[in-house]
Amino acid sequence: MADLLTVQGLETRFRTREGMVHAVNGVSFALREGETLGIVGESGCGKSVSVLSMLRLIPTPPGKVVAGSAIYQGKDLLKMTDEEIRQIRGSQISMVFQDPMTSFNPVLTIGRQVAEPLEIHQGYNRAMAYERAAEMLNMVGIPRAKERLGDYPHQFSGGMRQRVMIAMALICTPQILIADEPTTALDVTIQAQIVELVKRLRDELGMAIIWITHDLGIIAGLADRVNVMYGGYIIEEAPVKELYTNPQHPYTIGLLNSLPRMDETDHRRLASIDGLPPVLLEKPGYCPFAPRCHLAVERCWNENPSLLRVGDQHTTACWVDPGTGRERQ
């Protein structure tokens, strides 16, 4: 399938009191039509910042996208005028946020908020937009959708609000849905419901999804491909099955080892990765994971690896073959 969105060499920095923070350091990936791409990584590794940079939603100052391109339908999102990118937001690329409790305007009814993208992008009048909003709420599983249009956000539970948020994001049938940790603020049963809902909507509407999370478990059942990020870099990219069965980067291996497994019979302690995530005050000349890596060799301290092809669709940014513990040839 054709690439819908191609991101190349994206770099974003934030000016802070401590100095320049290099939040994203040359992220490149492609999203194909109808595909679900997972972006995984721990807090502060640049997952959210990369997609926000793409949509130019980074507050400037202090943030700034300093390099890269994001080609969508032949045009670079990063070079568009403010008006052009505004027209794309919400109609072709839309977003779902982490915290459904704070992402709604408390003084407006749900109906007005769900219908708003239609008013902005498709010039619907209030009545038509409301009708469509009710359909959409119905589709995401809100009972008595029509009546609930007049309710305020505080009258919805967290899971319901996240459903409403998804309805709002999908009301203009966008090509790309960006889900920025949409299940992090929800409890586990609700998480599963939301994941099922998104899967169903993906099958019905056929949009591509970028799903950002730090939960490898959620990605496993949802994504087609996964990007693992660390310290502002993508350090491994693979189809989801391949990543779980044959992880090639020590960080990915560490992440997978830190998960409890259903099929495990012996009660081992969950493994953790030693050390702390890097402070990104300067772009390292070495592998950003090297300080925490038990496989690090001399080369890791001298040269930051770029993505190396290790399988058919599998790339990883590591000098060492974790299978043998020796440097790759």
List interacting residues with other proteins (CB under 8 A): 55, 57, 61, 86-91, 94-95, 97, 99, 102-109, 116-117, 120-121, 150-152, 155, 165, 168-169
In angstroms, what is the minimal distance from the CB of 86 to other proteins?
5
In angstroms, what is the minimal distance from the CB of 184 to other proteins?
13
In angstroms, what is the minimal distance from the CB of 136 to other proteins?
13
Residue 52 CA to residue 67 CA, distance in Å, equals: 14
Q: Closer to other proteins by CB, 152 or 286: give it.
A: 152
Q: Tokens 């603020």 correspond to what residue?
A: 185
The CA-atom distances, in angstroms, between 267 and each of 192, 197, 245 are 25, 33, 21
In angstroms, what is the minimal distance from the CB of 57 to other proteins?
6
In angstroms, what is the minimal distance from the CB of 244 to other proteins?
31
Q: Closer to other proteins by CB, 18 or 83: give it.
A: 83
Residue 108's SS3 state is coil
Residue 301 CA to residue 314 CA, distance in Å, equals: 24
The CA-atom distances, in angstroms, between 319 and each of 25, 238, 290, 305 are 18, 17, 10, 6
Q: Closer to other proteins by CB, 116 or 237: give it.
A: 116
Query: Is residue 26 a contact partner of residue 91, using CB atoms and an 8 Å limit?
Result: no
- Pair of tokens at residue 24: 């994203």
In angstroms, what is the minimal distance from the CB of 38 to other proteins?
20
Of the candidates 163, 121, 194, 119, the one whose C-alpha atom is nearest the C-alpha of residue 131 is: 119
Q: Closer to other proteins by CB, 118 or 218: give it.
A: 118
Q: Closer to other proteins by CB, 131 or 151: give it.
A: 151
In angstroms, what is the minimal distance from the CB of 17 to other proteins?
16
Q: Closer to other proteins by CB, 103 or 315: give it.
A: 103
Find out whether the peptide bond into 62 is cis, omega within 30 degrees of 0.
yes
Q: Closer to other proteins by CB, 61 or 323: give it.
A: 61
Residue 148 CA to residue 155 CA, distance in Å, equals: 9
Across the beta sheet with 36-40, the strand order is 93-96, 176-180, 208-213, 36-40, 225-230, 233-239, 315-316, 308-309
Query: Is residue 286 a contact partner of residue 231, using CB atoms and an 8 Å limit?
Result: no
Which amino acid belongs to residue 148? R
